[in-house]
Amino acid sequence: MNITRAVITAAGPDQRRLPHQLLVDSDGVEKSVLKIIVAEATRAGIDDIGVVVHPDDTELFQTSLANEGNWTVIPQHEPRGYGHAIYCARDFVGNQPFLHMVGDHVYVSRDDENSTSRLLALAAREECTVSSVQPTREHEIGYFGAVSGQRVRGTHDVYTVDGVIEKPTPTQAEQALVVPGLRAGNYLCFFGIHVLTPSIFALMTPLVERGDTRIGLSDSLNELAKSEKYLAIEANGLRFPMDAKYGRLRAQLALGLHGRDRAEILTLVCDLLAQRELISSKHQN
């Protein structure tokens, strides 16, 4: 299975602004979140990238992506949800599997092989839909889709998926999403990166044609898990949703601590903590 195209969704109300937030990447260069995401995809060998945007933002994204290789801006003319945004890219990807990434997450690799490369390799080998996941503490699961399943025998990080719930409550997770082998209170939540096959469009088409106003991805993936092979692989990196509280701060610290300026960042953090303790001591005296 040859995967050469990627679809980045950036049409949602929050996604319209978050991809343009500036961060200092691990190489010490200031870039937009969108450019950091695009770099993650191109490092993994993706040739063509489609970005799904609100029609009013077409020119802004074209400017942001100037000189970034082969890319296409795809308008989502109706605000019908995250899944519908992916559906808008069906002509761009054609009848081929494709990489999908969300436009409001920052991905930070822990080693030379990034999470996207590992995901693509597994999808190519197994020729099926694969989602990158990460064990996530209970208090954070409300930000993500989460999966249930079983670990594939002979592996430590690959799972067969048998169900998906979007942004579950802790009660839902405890009842339906416990995965054997995970630490108590942790659940496998989406990392924000998937390899999707054309089957996803077939599942969404009836929803689009009957006029559903909110079409999600998780519901379609839940249906897909019932009818064909669907795997998940634990990411070997970190993901930071920019819409979470302190999301931008956490993403920036992670990029800095995993980049060339690690020593400088650690020094700055230590200095801030020392100053805080000094001020606290003066107030106590």
282 has a pLDDT exceeding 70 = no
pLDDT of 274 reads: 84
CB 183 within 8 A of CB 148: no
Which residues, including other chains, have CB under 8 Å from residue 91's CB and lie 6 or more apart?
Answer: none
Domain count for the chain: 1
pLDDT of 112 reads: 67
Tens-digit pLDDT profile for residues 153-183? 999 999 999 999 999 999 999 999 999 989 9
- Domain presence at residue 276: no
- Domain presence at residue 284: no
Alpha-carbon dihedral sign for residues 144, 142, 19, 17: positive
Least confident of 62-66, 211-215, 254-258: 62-66
Determine what percent of the chain is predicted with pLDDT higher than 70: 96
**Owner of token pair 């990034």:** 114
pLDDT of 215 reads: 95
Mean of pLDDT over the chain: 91
Tens-digit pLDDT profile for residues 69-109? 789 999 999 999 999 999 999 999 999 999 999 998 999 88
Quick check: helix, strand or coil at residue 197?
coil
**Owner of token pair 């079983």:** 150
111 has a pLDDT exceeding 90 = no
- Domain presence at residue 280: no
Compute the residue count for the chain: 285
pLDDT of 80 reads: 94
CB 214 within 8 A of CB 80: yes
Strands 5-10, 98-102: pairing kind:
parallel
- Give the CATH number of the domain where residue 14 resides: 3.90.550.10
Which is higher by pLDDT, 68 or 239? 239
Long-range contacts of 71-78 (CB under 8 A, 24+ apart): 71/38, 72/48, 74/7, 74/50, 75/11, 76/11, 76/52
- List C-alpha distances in Å: 172 to 79, 83, 247: 28, 22, 25
CB atoms within 10 A of CB 125: 10
- Domain presence at residue 266: no
- Domain presence at residue 67: yes
- Domain presence at residue 92: yes
Our measurement of the distance from residue 31's CA atom to the centroid of its chain's CA atoms, rounded to an integer in Å, reads: 18
Distance between CA 11 and CA 100 in Å, rounded?
14
Determine what percent of the chain is predicted with pLDDT higher than 90: 67
pLDDT of 190 reads: 95
- Domain presence at residue 283: no
User: Residue 68 belongs to what domain range?
Assistant: 5-259
- Domain presence at residue 25: yes
Q: For 38, what's the count of Cα atoms within 13 Å in the CB-facing half-sphere?
A: 23
Tens-digit pLDDT profile for residues 132-145? 999 999 999 998 99
